[in-house]
Amino acid sequence: MNYIWHILVMISIYAVLAASLNLVAGYTGLLSLCHAAFYGIGAYATTLLMMQMGLGFFPAMALAVPLTALLSLLIAIPSLRLRGDYFVLATLGFQIIVFSLLYNCVRLTRGPYGIPGIPIPSLFGVPVDTVFKYFLFSTTISTGALAILWLLIRSPFGRLLRAVRDDEVAAAALGKNVPAVKTMAFALGAGLAAIPGAMFAGYMRYIDPTSFTVGETIFILSAVVIGGAGSFWGPLVGSAFLVALPEALRLIQIPDAVAANLRQVTYGLLLVVLMRIRPRGIMGEYEFK
Amino acid sequence: MGEVALECRGLRKSFGGVHAVDGLDLSFESGTVTALVGPNGAGKTTLFHLICGALRCDNGDVLYRGRRINGLPPWATARLGIGRLFQDVRVFGSLTVLENLLVGFPDQEGEAPLVALLGRGRVSRREADHKVKALQWLGLVGLADRSSALAGSLSFGQQKLLAIARLLAGGADVLLLDEPTAGVHPTLVDRLLTVIRRLAGEGRTVILIEHNTSVVLGVADWVYFLDEGQVASFGLPAEVLADPSVRAAFAGLGGRRQ
């Protein structure tokens, strides 16, 4: 049974990751390739605040969110002036820089050794110490984060994001400060990605930089694109699908060594096929140009 | 004579060696419709870019109600009340017709994420208020029954009407209309011209780029004929269009356009 709860915990983590990237990529049309960097910053910030400053899980997470949003401005402010492809490359560069900082700032992050022994989160003094409890814990947190996203998307702010995505020039001609709007969307997406970062650290109780690579960014982006960019439910469906898929493959009796490779092939094939037959994703609204 | 709403003084803009706008002095009064006519490359669209801030002028000034506005970015000139209809319309295709208008309203608190989250009651009251106004504007341009259609699914002419309604929702006081009737079905042209006249009647300043002589004669109070970035002539539509050199320019256009 723990196995099922484990998968559901992972889905709840990826649902928030994909949904927060969707705010940036799907709703605002900014194809960002550094989402795993914000996920990682959130995880490391929460961990370090808990272990070095002795904060509890929630205060640490509550600080990690604005901290990550603030750090995202380092890349947002210079690169949002760039157009299309150049922006994508700049975010990719940021992703690589953050990874190598996590990997090489050994004093702070212990680099490739990672940080073990992250304290068990507790809620009202009750430690969240079983997989089932963590499932309840993480589902509650992610429901909260998704509710915030839902309210944002349905508000005039969300409508403005879609307008900017459709036509920046027209939005500016209506008096909208487009660079400011994009920066806000980007920072919000980054800040919200810190939440699953904290959830992941609290769950695994060990983090190292290899969880926050470019590959991870691509995985999150795949969940958005496969589920359907620019739709609220799309990324949730996409992340459930991508997290559950390898487990489904596991049920078919194939040797582990083959299964691992087969998983990669399946992801790749799936993306190619889906983009051919349904470029807007399963629930999709918006097609990347 | 009404009050001068917008004025250009000695406006210049070159691209490489080409003087697209070469020392333009123009003024536009509130409550009037002014047409800018002239051959392709006369600098009409460039002039619009300079007024709204999409391009910076090399020299000269743009004054809005006596205030210098050159150097301001497009969103800032738009907030002052300078609205623009693009030649290629630029509606938000994946938004509904109603949403296109709702985006147009200025100073929306709900566009700030924190207010959107924390001040939901206030935001939704304002939204309801905007919806009522938006539907009125849509009624004015005859699109009220299409309010829930995606803007991208409208015909080109309907998209132009929508874009104009969106400007009005934004409270634009000076309207820069780049070829409002081009590519619009003749049945919609009349509706468009009625709207334009009505806007001027309400005291707004309408400046339009137009190639169709009958539209210019029908709707404009004043005409500037531009050629090679300069004012070649200015006056009442019938006078300016009677000028043989203007007629020659239009004959060339007419053959191609109609």
Distance between CA atoms of residues B178 and B208, nearest Å: 6
- Give the relative orientation of helices A234-251 and A256-277 as an angle to the nearest 10 degrees: 140
B130: left (phi over 0), alpha (psi -120 to 50) or beta: alpha
Residue B11 · residue B24 · CB < 8 Å:
yes
Distance between CA atoms of residues A189 and A167, nearest Å: 21
Report chain A's C-alpha Rg in angstroms.
Answer: 19
Residue B98 · residue A171 · CB < 8 Å:
no
Instruction: Name the residue type at position B196.
Output: I
Is the confidence at residue A114, as pLDDT, over 80?
yes
Is the confidence at residue A261, as pLDDT, over 80?
no
ipTM at complex level: 0.86
Is the confidence at residue A132, as pLDDT, over 80?
yes
- Contact list in A for residue B52 (CB cut-off 8 A) is 173
Average pLDDT value over all residues in chain A = 89
Is the confidence at residue B256, as pLDDT, over 50?
no
Nearest CA in chain B to A147: B117
Is the confidence at residue B176, as pLDDT, over 90?
yes
Which two tokens mark B21? 């706008």
pLDDT tens digits along A50-62: 999 888 999 999 9
Instruction: Name the residue type at position B225.
Output: F
β pairing state of B230-235 and B222-227: antiparallel
pLDDT tens digits along B188-219: 888 888 888 988 888 899 999 988 888 888 89
Distance between CA atoms of residues A226 and A280, nearest Å: 8
- Contact list in B for residue A166 (CB cut-off 8 A) is 92-95
Distance from CA of B222 to the nearest CA of A (A): 25
Pick from A156, A176, A184: which is nearest to B75 by CB? A176
pLDDT, mean of residues B159-179: 90
pLDDT, mean of residues B155-171: 89
pLDDT bracket for residue B255 (50, 70, 90): very low
Question: Which residues of A have a CB under 8 Å from any CB of B?
Answer: 148, 151-152, 155-160, 162-163, 165-167, 169-178, 181, 184, 188, 230, 285-286
> Token match 């002239």: residue?
B38
State the best of A157, A162, A177, A288 to mutate against chain B, taking most chain B CBs within 10 Å. A157
Number of neighbours of residue B54 by Cβ within 10 angstroms: 17
How confident is the model at residue B257, as a pLDDT?
39
Chain centroid, CA A154 distance in Å: 20
Instruction: Name the residue type at position B157.
Output: G
